[in-house]
Every structure is written in C-alpha cells, then in structure tokens.
Structure 1
Amino acid sequence: MRVVAAMSGGVDSAVAAARMLDAGHDVVGVHLALSRSAATLRESARGCCTIEDAGDARRVADRLGIPFYVWDMAEAFQRDVMDDFVAEYEAGRTPNPCLRCNEKIKFAALLDKALALGFDAVATGHYAQVVEGAQGRELHRAVDMAKDQSYVLGVLDADQLARSFFPLGDTTKPQIREEAAARGFAVAKKPDSHDICFIADGDTRGWLAGRLGERPGEIVDEGSGEVVGAHQGAYGFTVGQRRGLGLDRSSLDGSPRFVTRVDASANRVFIGTPDLLGVRQVVGDSVRWCGPAPTGEVSVGAQLRAHGEEVPAVARVEEGSRLVVDLDAAVRGVAPGQSVVLYKGTRVVGSATISETSR
C-alpha cells in the first residue's frame, strides 16, 4: 500500500513512519508547512511547524531512506483553523483547534491530496487504535491512556477512517522514545509540543486581542444581576474560568467566582459560584459518526474535553441533526464550541460540536 506518513518533526510521527515502512508499505514522508512565517528555531515545547521541525523530519526520512516532501497548507490552515478559532471566540464559544485541524487539514486536505496523487492512505503519530470490526474499521482508544488522542480524532468519518493508520496506538510513550533511540533518531528525546500550536507563547487572550482589538464590556454576577467588574473583550473568557477575572472578591462575599456564560452579542461576561457550573445535558451540531449512525437512545460514555474523564450518558439524535446527550453526573465548565465525543467501551462512536448546555 502507498502511504503518506505525516511527519511533524517529533518523535511520535518519526516512529509511526518507521513502523509503516517495517510493515512493508511504500512510504513517503510529508511535512506540513502550516505557517508562512514559521519561526526559525523552537524556543520551548510550545508551538510546532518551525523550520527546525521540518529539518528534524527530513533527517528522520533520510535515515529511513524514504522520499520526503514539504507540502504548503498554510492557506488552508489559516482559513479552516486559525480564522475559525478567532470567529468562534468572537461568538462567545470555546473551540478546540486540534479537532478542527484533524477534520479540515490532516484528514481532509492532506488525505484528499494524497489520494489525488495516487496514495492509498495517511499515517500519523496519533495515539489511537484502528480495529477491524464486523461493520468495518473502528476507532478505539490507545493503550496508553495518558497519551490517548482518540478524542481529537472523533471528527473522522468512516471513509476517512478507512484510509487512516495510527501505528502507535498499542504502545506507551516511554516505549516509543526507547524505540526511537534504538533506531538512532535524533528526536528520541525531543520535548512534546503542547497547547495551541499557533500561539507559541501560550497567551491566548493576548493573541485574540491582537486580532479583535479591545472591546470594553461588563462583568455581571449571575446571582445578584449586579455589574461587578469590567473587561476588555468578552472573547477573552471561557466558561469555567476562574483566573484573570480582575475582581475584588471582598465585594462578592469573598467566595470564588467562575465564568458561567459569555454573551457575545451584549459583550457581557457572567460569573457565578461553583454550583452554577454543573451541566447535565449538552446539545451538539455538526455531528460526525465514526461508522454507522446509532438509532434511538443509546447508552454511551461522553468525553467533553481532550483530557477530561468519560461520563456515563444517554445520547439520541433529534430532528435529524441535533445530538442530545444526557449526562448521569453533572460536569463543570462545559462551554459551547467544545466537542462531545461518544464512546462505547474503548470504541469511538462519534462526535458533535456543543451548541447548548443545560443544568
């Protein structure tokens, strides 16, 4: 099988490419250039897609003896991930750019280009497993639960899953680093990238302010309805946030306050006590199924954050396109724009983008 190995320049994608080659596939390494002004050198574990990363990926490909190319996808990444990220925050929602990147870039733009060039599939260094089931390929959690990335792959549909390989799903991260060292890869000890790749300094609010400008507004206490503070842009806040509110707690009986909702249309941020954060139902749109769509009510596990715990739930589809998920236990800090991913055991059933929450 002719396979494109997406090589970020990190240890995971390096070992994934090597394993695909060991399995007898015809492998070509591809590094995605996602920024037109990529930094020359990585300064920390934040960010990715630097010139240094491209060089690391090329050196691994040379060691494996496989062809290597850099594909420019900066325009698609800007439009489908970065611009979407800004628009979602501006609308008072909290997006997950990693899911959007997987949906729009790695398993859409990249996969589409690979297929157009005559390749059969794409392999990545994500920690997840593909299992051959009775109704086709299934997406499952990785063996290493600390590194499991099935949540951010929950946007894949059956056709995309049929042409995707995740060679690391049966291995732990320490074992991957040991294997990389044994293969002589210089990236064996390279730190993992984390946080949002296009906000290298981790200052999301500052990054958004540079694009949306200051938009002064009020902070309102949910309980009393009183204005208790001011902000420079509602886009800088997300449900469940406690730090950075700039409030005088002495005027609020000294109790901690959290963001309970963001009203983008009124440019208002609402805060409240922890008991107002618990959510028992979420409604989602943009539903994606990793296989046949379930019918009627189904008992599932629902995961609401990339590193959140799975919560027992009952899910159903209403009006043909709305996914309604009733949670067995209240979950705090769930925001519109985030994703709910449904599981049946270790298998990913599907996902949706949260549009509404209810206590």
Structure 2
Amino acid sequence: MKVLAAMSGGVDSAVAAARAVEAGHEVVGVHLALSRMPGTLRTGSRGCCTIEDSRDAHRAAGVLGIPFYVWDFSERFKEDIVDDFIAEYASGRTPNPCMRCNERIKFAALLDRALALGFDAVATGHYAEVRYTADGHPELHRGADLNKDQSYVLGVLTEEQLRHSYFPIGATASKAEVRAEAAERGLSVANKPDSYDICFIPDGDTKAWLADKIPMRPGLIKDRSGEELGTHDGAMTFTIGQRKGLKVDRPAPDGGPRYVVGIDAAANTVTVGPREALRVGELEGIRATWCGQPPEGIGHSREDGIDCEVQVRAHGNTVPARAWLGRRDETPGADGTRPAGQHVHVALEEPFTGVAPGQTMVLYAGTRVLGQATIDRTRSLDPAA
C-alpha cells in the first residue's frame, strides 16, 4: 500500500510513520505548513505546526529513510479554520477548531490531494482504530488507551474517508509505550511535550486574540430576571459556563458564584445565573454526519430513536442518551443562522453541565463512533431558565 504519512513533528505521528514503514508499505512523509507566519516558534507545549515542528518531522523522516515534503495549506487553513473560528465566536457560539481541521484539512484537503497523487491512505498519529464489518464497511472505534483516545475529534469522518485512513498507533496500550518505541528507534522527538490548546493561539489567551479580530462593543451583564449587574467589553469573548472574568461585584442572592448561562451576540448582552442553570437535559445538533454507515433503525421520533452515548468534549465523559433525527433542511433558515443539513435530537439520561452552542456532540455505541453534529440549542433542566 502506498501511504502518505502526515508528520506533525510530534512523537505520535513519527511512530505512526515508522510502523507504516515496518509494515512494508511505501511511505512518504509530509508536514502541513498551516501558519501564515513561517517564523512562528513553539512555546513549551503550546502551539503546533511551527517551524520547529517542521524540522522535527524532517529529522524523523531522515531517521526512517523516507522521502519528506512540506505542503503549504496555510491559505486553506485560514479560510476554513481560522476565519470560521472568528465567525462562530462573533455569532456567540463556541467552536471546536480541531474538529474542523480534521474535517476540512487533514481528511479533506490532504486526503483529496493524496488520492489524486496515487496514494492509498493517509496515516496519522491519532489514537483511534478503523475496523471493518463482515460485509466490508469501515467503522471508527476508540483507541486502546482511553486516556489518549482521539476518536472524538475524528467523528467528522465519512465512510469513504475512513476507507483511506490509517491509524498505526491506535491499538497501542499507552503513550508511554509509544515514547519508549520512539526512543528505541532513535527518534529525537521521543520526549517532546504534547501540544495542547488552540494551535493558532499559542499563548492560550483566546479573549485577547479575538479582541484583535472582532470589533468589540461594551455591553451589559444581566441576571435571568433582566437586572443589570455590570458591563463587559464584548459578548462574543465569553462562553457558556464561564465563571471568571465576569466583573460582577454584587454577589448572587444565595451568595453562590455566578456563571455565564446565555450569550446574545446580536444584543451584545451576557446573562449570568447559578450553576444549576447550566445543567442541560436535551441537545439539538445541526450539520450532522455519520462516521461510516448510519446507525441502523434510527428514525424521526424519540420512540423510533436509538440508544447511544454522547460526548461533548474531546476528553470529557460520556452519558447514556436517546437520539433521533430531526428535519433535514435543504436551505438555511429564514434568519440565516441555521445551516442546511440533517438535524439530530438527543435526550440525555444524565445531565451535562455548561454545554455551549457551537460545540460538537459525538455519538457512540460502545467504542464505535456513530457520528457527530454541531450543537445548536440546549434545554436547561432548571425550571427558572
């Protein structure tokens, strides 16, 4: 098999490429240049796709004896990931750029180019597994190391994309095992820290970064009764569940902390309330896609739905739920805020806390990823909400 190994410059992708070589595949390494600032440097474990990461990937390819290239996807990354991130926050939503990157860059733009060049698959260092059913359909499953499992951020993959996805380290029992193997192979990235946070905001200060991209307007902070409690610099820099940085001096009537429970970007207002108001029992998702074959038997009512588990954060817990299909819009809603596509409704058996529109919910059946949707609306369990 001819394999294009996406090499980020980290230990996971380096070992994935090494295993692909060891398995006898014809392997070519590629690093994606995503930053529009080629001099970008890594700060500790913050950031990725930096110039140092490119060099680390090049060195690893040299050790493995495989060809290596750098592909410039910075323009596509800006349009599909960075601009989308800004637009979502400007609308009062909380997006997940890693989901969009996997969907639109690594397993769309990269995979499309790889197939056009004659490659059979793209290999990455994700902790997830592709398994095939008896009738030949691919399924995405959690990685063996549940502490490192990355199936959540791959929930956007389609059946056709799964057929050309290769995750050589997905069945590995632990990250420690991967690092030990890297050291044995003489890969200098064996002890390189993992990257975290948003790669294009390496200092981790999302609010300050957004303030340079979105015009900020002072607005009001209110409680759920409409009483004015304070002011803010811009509603779109807040997120549901936020507790710090509210600049509300007056304590709540019960003396408890206040949390952001609502964001109205159009009115530029932020609503705060008690933690109880953050408990949600139902989710409505838009732009739903299935990861492989659609789940068998799912219908358009709760009675015709399926039992599953739902996860709303990359390393969050799952809760049992009932899922069913909503309407399918061929065109966006009249107000332009509801994108076309399949809607999914989910009733949770146990509440989630602090779920924000714009986040991604991924549906599971055991270890198998069924699909995903972007959360559009939630229903609070607090009667006063």
Shift of 1:283: 0.6
Q: Does the alignment pair 1:38 with 2:38?
A: yes
SS for the counterpart of 1:319 is strand
Instruction: Report the equivalent of 1:308.
Output: 316
Point out the more displaced range, 261-270 or 251-260: 251-260
Between the aligned partners of 2:14 and 2:39, the Cα distance in structure 1 is 21
Letter in 2 for 1:323: V
Separation in 2, partners of 1:130, 1:247: 49
**CA positional deviation for 1:250:** 3.2
Over aligned residue pairs, what C-alpha RMSD do you find? 1.1
- Give the equivalent residue in structure 1 for 2:271: 270
Alpha-carbon contact 1:249-1:255 (below 8 Å) kept: no
- Deviation per CA, 1:185-233, whole angstroms, max 9, x where unpaired? 00000000001000000000000001113211111111x3201011111
- When normalised by structure 1's length, the TM-score is 0.98
CA contact (8 A) 1:249 1:256 kept: no
In the other structure, the counterpart of 2:355 is: 334
Gaps of 5+ in 1: none
Instruction: Say whether the 8 Å CA contact 1:4–1:114 is kept in structure 2.
Output: yes
Aligned to 2:145: 144
The answer to whether the 8 A contact 2:95-2:359 is kept is yes
**Runs of 4+ deviating beyond 2 Å:** 38-41, 249-254
Matches of 1:251 and 1:120, distance apart in 2: 59
| Deviation by residue 1:14-54 (Cα, 9 ceiling, x = unmatched) | 00000111111110000000012134532211101111110
Rounded Cα–Cα distance in structure 2 between residues aligned with 1:5 and 1:304? 29
* Displacement of 1:134: 2.9
8 A Cα contact 2:142 2:151, kept in partner:
yes
CA displacement, residues 276-317 of structure 1 (integer Å, 9 cap, x when unaligned): 011111011111101221322100000011111010000011
Cα-to-partner distance string for 1:317-336 (whole Å, 9 max, x where unaligned) = 12232100110011110011
Alpha carbons of 1:14 and 1:358: their partners in 2 closer, same or farther (altered >3 Å)? same
**Which residues of 2 match residues 219-234 of structure 1 at below 5 A?**
219-222=221-224, 224-234=225-235
Q: Which residue of 2 aligns with 1:89?
A: 89
User: How many residues are treated as equivalent by the alignment?
Assistant: 358
* 1:201 maps to amino acid: D
* Superposed counterparts of 1:253-292, under 5 Å: 253-292=254-293
Distance 1:254 1:148 in 2: 39
> Which residue matches 2:181?
179
Question: What is the TM-score normalised by the length of structure 2?
Answer: 0.91
Identity percentage over the alignment? 60
C-alpha offsets along residues 77-120 of structure 1, whole Å, 9 cap, x if unaligned? 00000000000000000000000000000000000011111111
Q: How far did residue 144 of structure 1 move?
A: 0.8
User: What stretches of structure 2 of length at least 5 have no aligned partner?
Assistant: 300-304, 329-341, 381-385
The CA distance in 1 between the partners of 2:343 and 2:41, in whole Å, is 44
Instruction: Give the Cα–Cα distance (whole angstroms) in 2 for the partners of residues 178 and 191 of structure 1.
Output: 14
SS at match of 2:212: helix
Query: What residue in structure 2 maps to residue 73 of structure 1?
Result: 73
CA distance in 1, matches of 2:375, 2:26: 40
Q: Note the C-alpha offset of 1:170.
A: 1.1
Amino acid at match of 1:348: V
Give the Cα–Cα distance (whole angstroms) in 2 for the partners of residues 351 and 249 of structure 1: 40
C-alpha distance after superposition, 1:106-153 (max 9, x if no partner):
000000011111111101001111111234111000111111100000
C-alpha separation in 2, matches of 1:86 and 1:250: 32
Inter-CA distance 260–10: structure 2 relative to 1 (3 Å threshold): same
Distance 1:15 1:248, change over 3 A: same
Residue aligned with 1:17, SS? helix
- Alignment match, 1:63: 63
Question: Aligned-pair distance for 1:249?
Answer: 4.0
Give the distance between the partners of 1:90 and 1:162, measured in 2 at CA: 36
Look up the SS of the partner of 1:69 in the other structure. strand
